[in-house]
Amino acid sequence: MHVWSLGRRVASPVGVRLRLPDPPLLVVSDRRQARTPLVAVIAAVIGAGCRWVSLREKDLPEDEQIILARQLLPRARAAGARLLIHGGAQLAALAGTDGVHLPSGSEPAAARALLGSRKLIGVSIHTVPEAEAIDPAHVDYALAGPAFETASKPGYGPEIGRKGLAEIVRAARVPVLAIGGINAARVAELVAAGASGIAAMGGVMRSADPAREVDGLIATLTGALAIHAPDKC
């Protein structure tokens, strides 16, 4: 089983060593679920210790997504956080983000060719064959889900559960983060199944106190990873 440590180093095609954000909690945005303006939510989660955020505002015109990303980049970089964008590599290049998160069925090789070796590239997956197809020369991490039923994306697909996540982790040659229906009570079982980290969207966006929500997730995730550290390779 592939299990990866905090801050795992990733080999790039030209030998540059990338490090995934630590802690391995990726907060994915959705301003439509947020109780306060998105910029304030992201500022709060970064202030709480999140070092990995991806903008997922696909309903916005691309120029507005770029403006939003450029608003958030200084805040993220001042805290040592990485800001990605969900979408295409061209959008990430125009926005100047620290990488891109690609939808399933994308072409990571083309994204790597455009963005270069110093940008993080992730991809969404839902099945073992998708996990097996990932080329670690082009992809740094994968998001597997939905781990559980989620209010953020009802009907998006059947939950993969702990068993399905474990199968995906075994098949993938990159770190796998679980996403979908995750709260602090479920983090430990996902890490036990092999997840290198987690991604959260609705639970953070809908929270009346996003900073407190993130603080709880980080504490639980860090503890779970420490418990399972002897299994890491």
The CATH number covering residue 118 comes to 3.20.20.70
Q: The pTM is what?
A: 0.89
Q: Is there a domain that residue 11 lies in?
A: no
Q: How do the pLDDT tens digits run along the chain, 233 residues long?
A: 333 434 443 344 434 446 899 999 999 999 999 999 999 999 999 999 999 999 999 999 999 999 999 999 999 999 999 999 999 999 999 999 999 999 999 999 999 999 999 999 999 999 999 999 999 999 999 999 999 876 655 445 688 999 999 999 999 999 999 999 998 999 999 999 999 999 999 999 999 999 999 999 999 999 999 998 544 43
Residues in CB range of 54: below 8 A, 6 or more apart: 26, 27, 28, 29, 83, 84, 85, 86, 101, 122
Residue partners of 178: CB distance under 8 A and separation at least 6 = 143, 144, 145, 147, 165, 190, 193, 195, 197, 198, 199
Closest CA to 199 of 114, 86, 98: 86
- Is there a domain that residue 7 lies in? no
Residue 223 lies in a domain: no
- Cα torsion angle, 94, 174, 47, 77, sign: negative
pLDDT for position 18: 66
For residues 152, 156, 162 and 166, what is the CA-based torsion angle, rounded to 10 degrees?
Answer: -120
Position 233, amino acid:
C
51 within some domain: yes
* Total domains present in the chain: 1
Q: Classify residue 117: in a domain, yes or no.
A: yes
The tally of CA atoms less than 13 A away on the side-chain side of residue 24 is 31
For residue 152, being part of any structural domain is answered with: yes
Asked, for residue 210, whether it belongs to a domain, the answer is no
- Exposure b/e, 40-53, CB count within 10 A at least 16 = b: ebbbbbbebbbbbb
In this structure, is residue 209 part of a structural domain? no
Domain that holds residue 119: 20-201
Structural tokens at position 188: 């430990």
DSSP summary character for residue 103: P
Q: What's the pLDDT score for residue 228?
A: 80
Retrieve residue 76's tokens: 């993220």
Tell me which DSSP letter residue 78 carries: H
